[in-house]
Structure 1
Amino acid sequence: MTPHDFLAVEFEGHRPRLKAVAYRMLGSLAEAEDAVQESWLRLARSDADEIDNLGGWLTTVVGRVCLDMLRTRKARHEEPMADRLPDPVVSLEDAADPEQQALLADSVGLALLVVMDSLSPAERLAFVLHDMFGLPFVQIGLIVNRTPVAAKKLASRARQRVRGAVPSADSDRADQRRVVDAFLAAARGGDFDGLLAILDPDVVLRADAGVLAGGLKAIRGAAAVAGQLGTFQRMATIAVTHPALVNGNAGLVNTIDDELFSVMSFTVADGRIAAIDILSDPGRLNGLDLADPTG
């Protein structure tokens, strides 16, 4: 095995964690993959013998690449992520592969990623790398060209904006699934009172059908969301529904004539649905790496 081949094998061992970092930074699976690939190119061009801690070096590089991508996104104002749902990570079985497990770890739900899109690039990097991956502020400061104290303040500001904006999901997936099953039963039965009973008073429904359909739309409040019962009932009637894990939380995958129609993510907090995120953009659904739910 050549030194280059050995380095490639080592890099592959770090890939799941690197993609998990990049996904949390970018909210886009395709961009996360691009960031990871860029980190490999930079590693291949470097003197690997001079790297004492390969994992730390790669995490730093991916962080810098993602920071540049976020800043470019902000500067161009091209298809801002705030106008679309982040890409969902969907597993139709509890046994996900190692890369999916890394992406799903800590239940980084779509609702949290939506809020994170409102952070500045530097705030998001500090929050993700410190609060989610435990990197020290000394290392984070080097990435954002700030002192460790300034990097700590970035993470603190991000934490304050995130805290309270996103309810903490119930940790028991069986409990989550029972609530989602109750939602589905109420939808199929046209049971308004049953639906209202499982919605948090401040529930938010976000639906992304794609740019051509008007982009991301949000409805807030239990009464307003329950008012969509007719739509839920029609979908529950014409679609075949499959239980799934979406970003680590209980969700649903809906198909029509064996074609993927939508992915639904539920944030269940204190036994009630606090957020529903629905992706039905055909172009983005076609890009999901999702096994046949009927298989």
Structure 2
Amino acid sequence: MLRTREADVFEGSRSRLEAIAYRLLGSAGDAEDAVQETYLRWQAADREYVQTPEAWLTKVLTNLCLNQLTSARARRETYVGQWLPEPLLAGDPMLGPADTVEQRESVSIAMLTLMERLTANERAVYVLREAFGYPHHEIADLLDITESHCQQVYRRAKQHLAVERARIEVDETSARRIVAEFLAAAVSGRTDELVRLLTDDAAIIGDGGAYFPTLNRPLVGAERIALFVRLAIKPAGAKWDLLGGKPTPFAAIVNGRPALVLVAADRIVGMVVLEVTADGIAAVHGHVNPDKLAHADRRWATCTPGAPLPELW
């Protein structure tokens, strides 16, 4: 009975722990591993010395993630091509709280990518404060630093992550409209159609890992992006073979942003996430590394997607 109660305590915190770990690591798989290791340590812990289970679990998880961040960054230095955080479909519990603009912003692909610039402590303080509302004194206890130092770290992190453009909030209807317009412009063969949708300093980043060749570095500028996309998409016949056949396009919300989801042979083979601002699309994030689509694909198999977009290729 005691073991059952201990397991129930942990399960009551699992979703929150996974959401913290995902924001800290940018990887659903790594987040699940960190939470599982936290569970093993919880099972082995001496309960006599655990006064507040939630704080104990959060501290263990955070320290595990900080250690993982060091090794993960070393791995990313040898990562083939460009690295992007793992995309998650709307409704995934790992996305965590989304009640405020700050919480929704902190889990966008663009913000998770920016967080790679932070030190491990800066990232932990920012995530715990901005996304989960922990007071500074609690964060300080979790990280074994003083409260005043915690506040300084938070201010530095906020400065590093300052967002210049206001992001646009989207629902399913507006996401479908934005994605459909982007897809139509991308396959139109006319660069001016796509340029019209992009900001002048828009950037495109592609993550194919070792599986699919993508850009070696971000491509910046609306004209350059439009030309690249036109050449990359048309003609696409032989390229579909790499993805398992010609994909069916869907619109979805991924990490709070409108996204084009490509499905072939009943699995997600690609995602294009659009960072939309009041001035236009400021970033295009392309995900085709199958290892980093597996988590989203499992969720896709259990949800009911809307009607597919018109196949324009």
- Asked if structure 2 preserves the Cα contact closer than 8 Å seen for 1:263 and 1:279, the reply is yes
CA distance in 2, matches of 1:181, 1:235: 18
Consecutive aligned runs of 4 or more in structure 1 exceeding 6 Å deviation:
none
Which deviates more, 187-196 or 240-249? Answer: 187-196
1:102 equivalent in alignment to 2:100: no
Give secondary structure in 2 for the equivalent of 1:217. Answer: coil
TM-score of the two chains, using structure 1 as the length reference: 0.86
CA distance in 1, matches of 2:264, 2:160: 39
Give secondary structure in 2 for the equivalent of 1:227. Answer: helix
1:221 equivalent in alignment to 2:230: no
Q: In structure 2, do the counterparts of structure 1 residues 37 and 103 end up closer, same or farther at CA, with 3 Å as the change threshold?
A: farther
Q: In structure 2, do the counterparts of structure 1 residues 119 and 216 end up closer, same or farther at CA, with 3 Å as the change threshold?
A: farther
Q: How does 1:1-295 map to 2 (within 5 A)?
A: 2-48=1-47, 51-74=50-73, 77-80=74-77, 83-91=82-90, 96=91, 99-100=93-94, 102=96, 106-107=104-105, 108-164=107-163, 167-173=165-171, 174-211=173-210, 213=213, 217-228=217-228, 229-234=230-235, 238-270=246-278, 272-286=280-294, 288=296, 289-292=298-301
- Identity across matched positions, percent: 29
Structure 2 segments unaligned to the other structure (5+ residues)? 241-245, 306-313
- Asked if structure 2 preserves the Cα contact closer than 8 Å seen for 1:170 and 1:176, the reply is no
RMSD: 2.7
How many residues are matched? 286
Note the alpha carbon deviations across 1:182-214, whole angstroms, 9 max, x for none. 111112322322211111112111001113636
Structure 1 segments unaligned to the other structure (5+ residues)? none
CA distance in 1, matches of 2:95, 2:61: 19
CA distance in 2, matches of 1:69, 1:264: 27
- Asked if structure 2 preserves the Cα contact closer than 8 Å seen for 1:39 and 1:58, the reply is yes
Deviation at 1:128, TM superposition (A): 0.7
CA distance in 1, matches of 2:170, 2:300: 25
Q: In structure 2, do the counterparts of structure 1 residues 90 and 195 end up closer, same or farther at CA, with 3 Å as the change threshold?
A: same
Deviation at 1:247, TM superposition (A): 1.0
Deviation at 1:101, TM superposition (A): 5.5
Which deviates more, 17-26 or 102-111? Answer: 102-111
Note the alpha carbon deviations across 1:153-193, whole angstroms, 9 max, x for none. 1111111111136x442113243432222111112322322
CA distance in 2, matches of 1:78, 1:199: 32
Q: In structure 2, do the counterparts of structure 1 residues 163 and 233 end up closer, same or farther at CA, with 3 Å as the change threshold?
A: farther
- Which residue identity is paired with 1:28? S
Note the alpha carbon deviations across 1:14-45, whole angstroms, 9 max, x for none. 11111000000001111101111122122222
Which deviates more, 213-222 or 155-164? Answer: 213-222
Q: In structure 2, do the counterparts of structure 1 residues 215 and 276 end up closer, same or farther at CA, with 3 Å as the change threshold?
A: closer
Give secondary structure in 2 for the equivalent of 1:85. Answer: coil
- Asked if structure 2 preserves the Cα contact closer than 8 Å seen for 1:39 and 1:62, the reply is yes
CA distance in 2, matches of 1:262, 1:101: 20
Note the alpha carbon deviations across 1:209-230, whole angstroms, 9 max, x for none. 1136367631111111111223
CA distance in 2, matches of 1:214, 1:249: 22
TM-score of the two chains, using structure 2 as the length reference: 0.81
CA distance in 2, matches of 1:100, 1:69: 18
- Asked if structure 2 preserves the Cα contact closer than 8 Å seen for 1:126 and 1:151, the reply is yes
Deviation at 1:260, TM superposition (A): 3.0
CA distance in 2, matches of 1:3, 1:148: 36
CA distance in 2, matches of 1:185, 1:239: 15
CA distance in 2, matches of 1:190, 1:37: 48
